[in-house]
């Protein structure tokens, strides 16, 4: 039986953004048909199976509820385009690795292919919604591609950036701080904006759905991520000063965060931010500033990335320094590899850099993580002598040091006496996330190092901490 749906929504790109976003739209709008397509058949097979391609709390439940009713996954991109009224584009836009703008500008090859594919397979008018993080002015380029050699088919391009964070994607989508829709001010642009607004209004309060010009919307996404990344680099830069002066960065963050003008979120000092967005988006911003001749502004934002790199290297040098200036043949266990807790995603995870540097120092690595081991294996496939073990007790067995890379809850609750007993002595713990109980660990016998706090050691420490 062919069910009648109000609107047919297509999403191109079944990744961390497209998958969860469409699952929530399907869940909240049972009258609309939502189809998610991808060039990668494995991904689509996984989305259609019991083991979804990404781990995200709450995702499986809503996918299971909507799949087959009004949520569909397919590799037939062309058929999807033909039948759809609204197309969300959430293909990946990694940083370019070649040619002009390499290392900074986004690589738009996937995105441009998609624009052309939409044009070639459309025989009715459609609304195109940019979801991927894209540089400012992409919608304009998208319009140009779509409107060249058209045959009476009209496209309205909207920008609707995604602000969800991994690990809390479903909560963020269900209850967003805001939904931003950028459109053209033309009558048809405004009609398209209102249509998308109506979809979100099924569950998002009207006052949280805001609109702007397309360019402002595109830029808002970059600026939001740049401000968030800047906050982490700010507190991380202060953590270095705290270590030199025996201050405690958590105490400083608490005092600073109680100023209601600043707020207390995103002030956790760490080994550095990771994830697919922050570095890429700050680099986009730097690229844009430089492109428009604003070198001073570009350098200001570049500092955010520089501190992030510095923080990762500082962590490694502190390990080296504290473990008597040699890591050769020492066995080091990394607790966590994901770029943050509650996700299996390791893209740009600080743990990748730290693992590579430790291997360069000839340490032997053991990696444990509840969700990210497969990705970790892939990230470190060039390196030898690395073990991957799910059980943290087993992973720490016979190690000289444990280093916490990811703030998984499970690491707070482990029996550290049991871990200590199984480790080589002197035993070291380096907490890159400031989540452990240092007094207790010190009492057990560990030498304890955290970010931006005084170290607790059973021996005199040489003064050159980095």
By CB under 6 A, tell whether 38 contacts ligand ADP: yes
- Contact region for ligand ADP (CB under 6 A) — 38-46, 201-209, 235-243, 258-266? 38-46
By CB under 6 A, tell whether 14 contacts ligand ADP: yes
By CB under 6 A, tell whether 266 contacts ligand UDX: yes
Cβ of residue 241: shortest distance to ligand UDX, in angstroms? 17
The footprint of ligand UDX on residues 322-381 (CB under 6 A) is 339-340
- Contact region for ligand ADP (CB under 6 A) — 9-17, 214-222, 371-379, 396-404? 9-17
Q: Which does 431 bind (CB under 5 to 8 A by kind): ligand UDX, ligand ADP, none?
A: none
Cβ of residue 296: shortest distance to ligand UDX, in angstroms? 26
Residue nearer to ligand ADP on the CB measure, 161 or 452: 161
By CB under 6 A, tell whether 276 contacts ligand ADP: yes
- Nearest CA-CA partner of 143 in 130, 161, 162: 130
Tell me if 243 sits within 8 A of 452, measured CB to CB. Answer: yes
Q: Which does 12 bind (CB under 5 to 8 A by kind): ligand ADP, ligand UDX, none?
A: ligand ADP
> Three-state SS string across the chain, please?
CCCCCCCEEEEECCCCCHHHHHHHHHHHCCCCEEEEECCCHHHHHHHCCCCCCCCCCCHHHHHHHHECCCEEEECCHHHHHHHCCEEEECCCCCECCCCCCCCCCECCHHHHHHHHHHHHCCCCCEEEEECCCCCCCHHHHHHHHHHCCCCCCCEEEEECCCCCCCCCHHHHHHCCCCEEEEECCCHHHHHHHHHHHHHHCCCCCHHHEEEEEHHHHHHHHHHHHHHHHHHHHHHHHHHHHHHHHCCCHHHHHHHHHCCCCCCCCCCCCCCCCCCCCHHHHHHHHHHHHHHCCCHHHHHHHHHHHHHHHHHHHHHHHHHHHHCCCCCCCCEEEEECCCCCCCCCCCCCCHHHHHHHHHHHCCCEEEEECCCCHHHHHHHCCCCCCEEECCCHHHHHCCCCEEEECCCCHHHHCCCHHHHHHHCCCCCEEEECCCCCCHHHHHHHCCEEEECCCCCECCCCCCCCCC
Q: Which of 88, 273, 428, 430 binds ligand UDX (CB under 6 A)?
A: 273
Residue nearer to ligand UDX on the CB measure, 68 or 263: 263
Quote the CA–CA distance of 269 and 249 in Å, as a whole number.
7
- Contact region for ligand UDX (CB under 6 A) — 122-130, 243-251, 270-278, 458-466? 270-278
Cβ of residue 232: shortest distance to ligand UDX, in angstroms? 5
Q: What are phi and psi of 402, to 5 degrees?
A: -115, 135
Residue nearer to ligand ADP on the CB measure, 56 or 407: 56
By CB under 6 A, tell whether 52 contacts ligand ADP: no
Residue nearer to ligand UDX on the CB measure, 179 or 444: 179
By CB under 6 A, tell whether 62 contacts ligand UDX: no
Residue nearer to ligand ADP on the CB measure, 171 or 422: 171
Active site residues: 277
By CB under 6 A, tell whether 138 contacts ligand ADP: no
By CB under 6 A, tell whether 196 contacts ligand ADP: no
By CB under 6 A, tell whether 118 contacts ligand ADP: no
Q: Which of 25, 52, 87, 91 binds ligand ADP (CB under 6 A)?
A: 91
Site string for ligand UDX, 284-323 (x = CB under 6 A): ----------------------------------------
By CB under 6 A, tell whether 165 contacts ligand ADP: no
Q: Count of residues for the chain? A: 466
Q: Half-sphere exposure of 126 toward its Cβ, with a 13 Å CA cutoff?
A: 29
Tell me if 181 sits within 8 A of 209, measured CB to CB. Answer: yes
By CB under 6 A, tell whether 202 contacts ligand ADP: no
- Contact region for ligand ADP (CB under 6 A) — 39-47, 141-149, 225-233, 458-466? 39-47
By CB under 6 A, tell whether 81 contacts ligand UDX: no
Interface residue list for ligand UDX (CB under 6 A)? 162-166, 225, 228, 232, 266-268, 270, 273-275, 277-278, 339-340
Interface residue list for ligand ADP (CB under 6 A)? 12-18, 38-40, 43, 77, 90-92, 110, 113-114, 132, 276
């Amino acid at each position: 039986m062919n069910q009648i749906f109000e609107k047919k929504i297509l999403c191109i790109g079944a990744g961390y953004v497209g998958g969860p976003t469409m699952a929530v739209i399907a869940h909240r709008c049972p009258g609309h048909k939502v189809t998610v397509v991808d060039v990668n058949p494995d991904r689509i097979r996984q989305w259609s199976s019991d083991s979804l391609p990404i781990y995200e709390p709450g995702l499986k439940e809503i996918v299971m509820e909507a799949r087959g009713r009004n949520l569909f996954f397919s590799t037939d991109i062309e058929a999807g385009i033909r039948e759809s009224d609204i197309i969300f584009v959430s293909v990946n836009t990694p940083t370019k690795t070649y040619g002009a703008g390499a290392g900074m500008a986004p690589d738009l090859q996937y995105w441009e292919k998609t624009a052309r594919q939409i044009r070639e397979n459309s025989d009715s008018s459609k609304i195109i919604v940019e979801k991927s993080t894209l540089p400012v002015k992409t919608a304009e380029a998208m319009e140009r591609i779509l409107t060249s050699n058209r045959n009476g088919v009209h496209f309205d391009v909207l920008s609707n950036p995604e602000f969800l964070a991994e690990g809390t994607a479903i909560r963020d989508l269900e209850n967003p701080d805001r939904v931003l829709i950028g459109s053209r001010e033309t009558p048809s642009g405004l009609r398209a904006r209102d249509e998308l607004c109506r979809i979100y209004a099924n569950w998002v309060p009207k006052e949280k759905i805001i609109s702007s010009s397309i360019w402002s919307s595109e830029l808002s996404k970059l600026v939001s991520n740049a401000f968030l990344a800047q906050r982490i680099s700010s507190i991380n830069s202060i953590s270095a000063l705290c270590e030199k002066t025996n201050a405690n960065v958590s105490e400083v963050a608490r005092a600073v965060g109680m100023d209601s003008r600043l707020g207390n979120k995103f002030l956790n000092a760490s080994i550095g931010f990771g994830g697919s967005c922050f570095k890429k988006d700050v680099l986009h911003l730097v690229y844009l500033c430089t492109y428009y001749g604003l070198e001073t502004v570009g350098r200001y934002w570049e500092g955010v990335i520089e501190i992030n790199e510095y923080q990762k290297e500082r962590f490694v040098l502190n390990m080296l320094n504290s473990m008597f200036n040699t890591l050769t043949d020492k066995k080091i266990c990394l607790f966590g590899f994901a770029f943050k807790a509650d996700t299996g995603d390791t893209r740009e995870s600080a743990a990748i850099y730290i693992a590579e540097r430790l291997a360069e120092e000839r340490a032997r690595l053991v990696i444990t993580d509840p969700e990210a081991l497969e990705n970790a294996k892939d990230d470190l496939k060039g390196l030898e002598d690395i073990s991957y073990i799910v059980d943290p007790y087993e992973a720490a067995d016979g190690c000289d040091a444990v280093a916490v890379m990811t703030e998984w809850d499970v690491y707070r609750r482990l029996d550290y006496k049991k871990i200590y007993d199984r480790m080589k002595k002197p035993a070291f713990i380096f907490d890159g996330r400031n989540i452990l109980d240092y007094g207790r660990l010190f009492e057990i016998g560990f030498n304890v190092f955290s970010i931006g706090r005084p170290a607790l050691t059973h021996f005199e420490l040489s003064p050159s901490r980095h």
